[in-house]
Amino acid sequence: MARVTLDVGGTPWVVNTRDGGEDEVRRLGAMLVERWPTALRAAGDGGVPQALLLTALMLADELREAKEQASAAPRDGVDPAEMDSVALNWVADRLESLAQALEHAPSSD
C-alpha cells in the first residue's frame, strides 16, 4: 500500500492508496486545494472539519451536474444502469478516500 501526503490549506493529510494510485490521489487532492479557499471562507467558525464537508459538497454538486448533463446527452448504445453503476462506484471510491484522509488527519483541537 502506498501513502501520499496532500497539503490542503497548510495541513498535511496522509492518504493510503493502492500501489500505483499515487498520481490519481494527487490529482484528486488538487481538486480539493482548488476549492479550499472558498470552502474555508464559507465554513466560518466551523473550521477545518466544516470546510472539508463543504469541499465534499461542492464536488458532489459538480458530479451531480455532470451526471445530469451526461443523462441528457445521446447514449449511443450505452446502458443507463451501467453508467449509474460506474458513477456510484466512483463516488464510493472517492468517499472512502476522504474517510481515510479524515481518519489519518491531524487533530484540529
Locate the domains of the chain by residue range: 2-103
> Does position 105 have pLDDT exceeding 80, yes or no?
no
pLDDT score for 103: 67
pLDDT tens track for 28-74: 999 999 999 999 999 999 999 999 999 999 999 999 998 888 787 76
Measured CA angle at 30 (ends 27, 32), to 5 deg: 120
Cα–Cα dist 51/35, whole Å: 10
